[in-house]
Each structure stands twice: as structure tokens, then as C-alpha cells.
Chain A
Amino acid sequence: MIRQLLLTLLLTLSTTAMAAETLTVYSGRNEKLVGPLLKKFTAKTGIEVKVRYGETPQLAATLLEEGDKTPADVFFAQDAGALGALSNAGRLQALPKETLDKVDARFRSPTGLWVGTSGRARVVAYNTKKVKAADLPKSILEFTDAKWKGRLGWAPTNASFQAFVTALRLLKGEEAASNWLKGIQANGVRVYKNNAAIIEALGRGEIDAGFVNHYYLYAAKKSNAALPVDNYFVAAGDPGALVNVAGVAILQGAKKAEAARKFAAFLLEPQAQEYFSQETYEYPLVAGVKTSASLPALSKVGSPDMDLSKLDDLRGTVKLLQDTGVL
């Protein structure tokens, strides 16, 4: 028994030693989504990649606990908030200017500590059997109307939802945000664990409309093409049309900083950007790469004009969510 344990330990230690020439990535993005892309990176550059997959917030918490002793070189996160939390804690190092410049300024850190790699739009997903797109309001704020009573679903613990609430606070003010949260609750909104659960519930007809990210629909339709659910984009400039990003950052004290910079650059190359557009149904962020045919153009989505790095004020958002009794 003990011998077996020691043997396993030795094996594990020796693989760690052998892997000295590899890049270590913490990925809050799902293996099914980005695994094939990481393989392409290895094929292209010859740099091996070791990946710890997990939930973005949990990996961010882990990186905060590990501090400067982290084995990770790169953090590939699912939302700007987590990247903001790490940059606030001084855990990130600056990316090269030529990498940053490939992406529009609103989709990257103003201090150059992280860069967006793909766009994720907030949408209202709805059950097509129960609601017509024409009956859906232009602004997310109008869902507080009593006619939506008992018909809505949200996932308030979800990072993307919280990013949206942060945007709402910044764009419309604390009071408006607070009123919206109270109004939606007054409509008896159902609480789901995450976006995927909302889409499932919409498919079952449990609710009529839910606040989600745009690409969950396409993942769900892959396993069930007949799902009676569609995405609705609210009017341009509305907080409900916020485009958040998945992004990449290099950790302070990364042992493979050079390889890490190559990795960040790779994610912004046309090959990778097309991958996001075609395989994960996200918005490419580098000019000249085509958006998936199933999606409206990013320019038409009309994300409200705001600095995404301000989405790191999660404390204020969580406090508001707690004060209004949402959390």
C-alpha cells in the first residue's frame, strides 16, 4: 500500500520535472470548448501546454491563494471580472503592446494587464412557442412590467449576470439598478444555477424568457435541434446588450513568460479567432475575422459604451444584490 503510494508520488513528481519545457495554463474556459484550440497552439509552436480546467471564479480564488508561488503562467478566463480581480490584487503582468493593439480598446484592460480574446453578448432568450420576438421590449429595464409576472428566469450567482448588473449600475445609476432588481423579483423571477439551466428551463416551457449569454443557445441546440428557444438582442446601447469578454492574462512571476506571450498572441491570430467564431459561437474581437452566420454582427449588437475593466467593481454589485435580497 505505502509502496504503491510512494511509487505514484514518484511518478507524479517525475512528470512534473519532465514537463519543465511546458507552459502551464489555468483555464476557466471549458475543455470541450478550448481543448482543440490549445492542441493547435502546440502543433504550431511546439510548446507543450499543461492545463488545469475549472470554474473561472474558483480558479481566480485559487490563483489568489497561491500568490507568487503559483505554478501557472497563464490565466485564460471566462469573464473580465475575474481578470479584474487578479489585476487589482497585483497578480498580473503587462502584455506586449502589439498583442493588446489587435483588439479594440473597449475589450481590453486599460493598464494592459489582460486582453479580450472573444466576445460574449448578453441576450434575452425566450420560448418561441409562448412569446413572439415582436412582443419583447426594446430595453431590459421594461421586464419589470407586471405582464412578465411568473414568466422570467435568471441566474444571479452567475459571473456574467453580475457583470451585467455592474454595467447597469454604472450606466443607469445605483437607484435604477436597485429598482430593476426589485422589479424583476416582484415579478416572481425563478432562480437558476447557471445559463445552461435557464436554457433547459426555457426548453421545458417552465419560463417564457431568461437573461443569459448568447452562445448557450447554440450549445443546447447541438444536442436538441428542435429546442423551441431563440435569442433576442435588446436595443443598441441598452445595458442588456452588454458584450463581455473571455480573456487572457500572464501571471506575475510566470516562469515561462515568453511562451505565455506567444500563447496570448496566438489566441488573437485569425486561426484562433475563426475558431471562436465557428466552434464556440462567440464574437471574434480582431478586425477582419468573420462572425458566425447564425449571429447578428457585433457592430449591430451595440454594446453600451463603457470601460469593461470597470466591471471589476463586483463588491459593489454583490452588495447591491445582497441589499435587494437577490443573493
Chain B
Amino acid sequence: MTRRPPVGLWVSGAVVAALAVLPAVYLVVRAAEADASTWGLLLRDRTWGLLWRTLGLAAAVTVLAAAMSLPLAWLTTRSDLPGRRVWTVLLCVPLAVPTFVSGYVLLAAFGTGGVLEEVLTRWGLPVPPVYGFPGALLALTVSTYPYFFLALRAGLLSQDPAWLEGARSLGLSPARAFWKVTAPLLRPAFVSGALLVGLYVLSDFGAVALLQYDAFSRAIYVQYEGAYDRAYAALLGLALVAVTVVVLVFEVWLRGRAGYHRSSKGAARAVAPVVLGRWRVPALLFCGAVVMAGVVLPVGVLLYWGARGLAEEGGSLLEPAVGSVLASVLGAVMSVVGALPLAFLAVRYPSRLTLAMERASYAGYALPPIVLALSLVFLGVQVVPFFYGTLVMLVLAYVVRFLPQAVGTVRSSLLQLNPHLGEAAASLGQPPASVFRRVTMPLLRPGLLAGAALVFLTAMKELPATLLLAPIGFETLATRVWSATAEGRFAEAALPALVLMAVSTLGVGLLVSQEGDAPRG
């Protein structure tokens, strides 16, 4: 395809890409202030050690989360698992649990003197090691697997059932048909999930700090927290951006140039669900175990904290709840809107430039959120002071940070969509806007909703940007939780944390109910 994209698409794509690389530009500005001794700090052995530790953790979390999510996504979309909708919603909830809460949960449950330690030792069972690599791996896998889960679900839902039926009619067993037909088609979803999980691990601070795993983002935080050394922090940040670029290039190579959309009209109906039969109980147990670790355990620990002083939480939680939902919904909608031109350019008009623009959306994602927040403080004050201190700035921060979550899912849905469908509509005399609205959008729905769900959930728990960029006095549930835990008042943190999880569950429930079971053709 060498067609030129429409000017409007170009311009909107360019604007979004430019916004996305702003944090990197800020880092360059700050890093320019670094002197020789600062560069010396960057190039010492310790930096490389940190880098390897961080990359190792990212790779391990990615593999584990993928291995967990594929069966979960398949069970909730393709099988007759009882209560599929409910499982879907519950399996997404961990995304809304702030990592500093999940870290505490892990400690409270398995740490020395923890709630579960006693029970496990009494039964002679080993207590999982919470500190260092195993703890960080566990905490981050539990809190990031929904990235894979949602991406794979969207991929499965928008796949043409005719392909699988074709394979089955040729005599392939269900299992072989899955590995031969369904799984290869999920490659874009896998890749987008892997990027989101892997790069998120690079940026995470809360879990690695609590579980005492020495990672790269911790080194960056230390510079802001203790030393106010913005130049060194910027150099470390740029190193992280460089790692991201390497990962993204690797991903393009991995992704290959295969086509994923069907060539004919496709079957406009749902795949007949696979009957689980005697696998039903193990399947339910598996879903149950994941929900146990990601939802029940945090809720349990929060209730346990809360029982020690629920009454202490003063003030209504309505205002922060409204604040959370308002900012997160705006962030989710704007992220999906911003993702559309990038995904369209990259999929429909592939070139080095459009690909680079789409990749640019990841620039800020692997950075620790504090770096991103400060870069937007810089931008806000210097370039758009009239927006500084308003909700616009906060929503912008959410978009810049979470854009890749929307781009990834929209892109993988778009890949499965035959461009000729839209062309056919256009040849029937439909103007482009109408083609987009009446043909393309409905077909993209699973991807758009999955993207919106991801952004909504992660924005609900976002903290540094919310603290620094929200209008003064604007409260969210996450800031409430933070303000209670910061001084060790866990009992007071319990209620807002529980409300945060409840509201998020409700939000994802709404989105999932919009999803529909059948892929549309």
C-alpha cells in the first residue's frame, strides 16, 4: 500500500505523536545540564547491574503474565465456562489496585508475622518468599496480567469464526485447530500485551520499592526524593527511553509483516462455545485462584485494616469518587481518540514514518510516572500556562502516559479488519466520515472498548501526576489512599481503597456489558 493518508489523519497523528514524545524532550533539556561527574555516575557498573535486574524482571513478568492470560482469555470468550462475564470483570480488577497497595497486601499476607504465614506454617506448607525477585515477580504479574488478558480477549472476539470452523471441518482437533489457527492470529494481541506489561515493569516504583527489589526506576526516584539532582535523574530517564526504543525495534522485528485480516466477508455470528465437560472444574479453580490472588486477597487485607478503624475515615468519599471517575473517563476517551489516528496510519498506511509515529506513543510509558509528571509541569508552565492547574493538564498527563494502552489494542483490532470493507462502502457512495462511523467503528468496538477499559483502570490508580497536576483541591480515591498510607494510617486507607476497587469494577462491568459476545462481520 503506497496510498497517501488523508491530510486530516496526518495532522492529527502528528499532533498526538508530538505530545507523546514531550517527556523525552524534557529529559533532553534537563540532561543537557549534566556535567562530567554526573555522566560518570551514569556509566558506572552499578547502572548496568540495575539495568539487567530490571530487564530480567520485566521479561519474567511478561512471560508469566502471558502464560496465565491466554487460558483465561480463551475460557472467558470461547468456552462455556459458567459466569464468563463476571469472571471477565473480576479478572480485570487487579489493574485498579495501586501497586503500593498490592505490595503491602503481599507483605501483610506472607511477610514475617503476616496473616497467612501462620496458617501456612501450621499446615507445614512453605511460605512464599516475599522480598526480592520472587515477591516482585508475583506482585507485578498479578497486577499486570490484565493487560494481556484484555488484549487477547479483544483479539479473540474480533477473530472471524469462519477460520476456526474451516480448520475444524478439515478434521483438526479443537486443540490443534487452536494452535494452528487461533493462536497465530493472536500474535498482534500478544505483542501489544507484552509491550504493555514489559514496559510497565520498567516504570514501576511502588512494588519494587516495597518488596526491596533494586530496579532502575528506584534509582531515578532516589534522585528526586533525596538529591534534587534533576540532571542525573534525566540521564537515567533517557537511558530508560533508550531501552524502550530497543524493545520497540525488537518488537517490530518480532511482529513481522504478516496480514491478519480475512479476505472475504466472514461469518457474522458467534463461534459455538467449546464445551468444557470434565475440564469445567479445573477451569473454574484456575480462574478462582487468579481472582483470589488479585482481588480477594487485597480486599481481605483491606477489610482487615479497615476493621481496625473504619470509623476513623472522616469525610465523604463521594467527591473523590466523582473526581476519579471524571478524570479517568476523560483520560480513557481522549486516549482512545488519540490512539485512532496513530493506529490507522500505522496499519493502513505503513511506512517508516507512520510506524515511527505509532512507536512514539510509547516514549513516556516506560518512564517512572514522577518523571512524566515533572515534564508536564515544565510544559504546562512554560508553554500552556492557561491550562496549568486545570483538569485539562491532568487529562493530558493521563493521555501521554496511557496512550500506548489504547494504541496497542486499537491497532491489533484494526489489523484484523479488512480494509476492503471500508472501500466497498466508499465505492457505494458513502463519504469517508460516514464509512468510518457506520462501518469501521462498529467493527473496531472490541478493541476500542478494551483500550478504554485499560486506560480507565490504570488512570483510576494513578498517583504522581494526579498529585502534581490536578487542579488544587481536586481529590481522587487514589490520592485519598495515598494520604492515609503515607503516614502509616492503614486503617484509614482501607475504605477509600475498597471504594476505588468497587468503582473500577463497576466501570469495567459497564464496558464489558457493551462488548457483546459475538464478533461482528
Q: Does A239 contact B (CB under 8 A)?
A: no
- Distance of A204 from chain B, by nearest CB (Å): 3
Chain B residues with Cβ under 8 A from A57's Cβ?
224-226, 228
Chain B residues with Cβ under 8 A from A85's Cβ?
228
A64 contacts B228, CB within 8 Å? Answer: yes
Q: Does B483 contact A (CB under 8 A)?
A: yes
Chain A residues with Cβ under 8 A from B471's Cβ?
12, 15-16
Chain B residues with Cβ under 8 A from A12's Cβ?
390-392, 471
B381 contacts A69, CB within 8 Å? Answer: yes
Q: What 0/1 pattern do residues 205 to 223 of A give for CB contact below 8 A with B?
A: 1100000000010011011
A270 to B226, CA, bound (A): 32
Minimal Cβ-Cβ distance residue in B for A204: B113
**Which residue in A52, A70, A81, A220 is a CB contact (below 8 Å) of B488?**
A220
Chain A residues with Cβ under 8 A from B229's Cβ?
315, 318
**Which residue in A33, A82, A206, A222 is a CB contact (below 8 Å) of B113?**
A206
Chain B residues with Cβ under 8 A from A132's Cβ?
none
- Distance of A104 from chain B, by nearest CB (Å): 26
CB under 8 Å from chain B, chain A span 256-300: none
Chain A interface main SS type: helix
A206 contacts B111, CB within 8 Å? Answer: yes
B391 contacts A8, CB within 8 Å? Answer: yes
Chain A residues with Cβ under 8 A from B483's Cβ?
30-32, 53
The stretch of B66-74, B260-268, B358-366, B370-378 in contact with A is B370-378
B468 contacts A30, CB within 8 Å? Answer: no
Q: What 0/1 pattern do residues 46 to 80 of A give for CB contact below 8 A with B?
A: 00001111110111111011110111000000000
Q: Does B171 contact A (CB under 8 A)?
A: no
B488 contacts A5, CB within 8 Å? Answer: no
Candidate in B308, B330, B389 with the most chain A CB atoms within 10 angstroms: B389
Given contacts A24-B472, A200-B488, whether A58 and B224 have CB atoms under 8 Å apart is: yes
A200 to B309, CA, bound (A): 16
Candidate in A192, A201, A322 with the most chain B CB atoms within 10 angstroms: A322
**Which residue in B41, B212, B489 is a CB contact (below 8 Å) of A191?**
B212
- Distance of B239 from chain A, by nearest CB (Å): 16
A204 to B114, CA, bound (A): 7
Minimal Cβ-Cβ distance residue in B for A86: B228
Q: Does A105 contact B (CB under 8 A)?
A: no
Q: Does B485 contact A (CB under 8 A)?
A: yes
A327 contacts B224, CB within 8 Å? Answer: no
Chain B interface main SS type: helix
CB under 8 Å from chain A, chain B span 179-234: 209-210, 212, 218-219, 221-230
Chain A residues with Cβ under 8 A from B333's Cβ?
1
A272 to B55, CA, bound (A): 49
**Which residue in B225, B230, B308, B473 is a CB contact (below 8 Å) of A223?**
B308
Candidate in A190, A193, A219 with the most chain B CB atoms within 10 angstroms: A193
**Which residue in A53, A65, A69, A82 is a CB contact (below 8 Å) of B385?**
A69
**Which residue in A190, A219, A317 is a CB contact (below 8 Å) of B487?**
A219
Given contacts A159-B226, A204-B114, A314-B226, whether A62 and B487 have CB atoms under 8 Å apart is: no
B112 contacts A204, CB within 8 Å? Answer: yes
Chain A residues with Cβ under 8 A from B391's Cβ?
8-9, 12
Q: Does A203 contact B (CB under 8 A)?
A: yes
- Distance of B350 from chain A, by nearest CB (Å): 30
Q: Does B492 contact A (CB under 8 A)?
A: yes
Which A positions have Cβ atoms within 8 angstroms of B? 1, 5, 8-9, 12-13, 15-16, 24, 30-33, 50-55, 57-62, 64-67, 69-71, 81-82, 85, 157-159, 162, 190-197, 199-201, 203-206, 216, 219-220, 222-224, 314-315, 317-318, 321-322, 325, 327
Which B positions have Cβ atoms within 8 angstroms of A? 41, 46, 107, 111-114, 131, 209-210, 212, 218-219, 221-230, 305, 308-309, 312, 326, 330, 333, 370, 373-374, 377-378, 381-382, 385-386, 388-392, 395, 464, 467-468, 471-473, 479, 483-492
| 12 A-B interface contacts by CB (under 8 A) | A32-B484, A55-B225, A57-B225, A62-B377, A67-B381, A157-B209, A157-B225, A200-B488, A219-B488, A317-B226, A318-B226, A322-B41
Q: Known contacts A58-B225, A59-B468, A223-B491; can you find 8 more A-B pairs with CB under 8 A?
A: A55-B486, A61-B228, A195-B488, A197-B488, A219-B488, A220-B488, A223-B309, A318-B223
> Which A-B residue pairs are the 5 nearest by beta carbons?
A196-B488, A204-B113, A206-B112, A318-B227, A223-B491
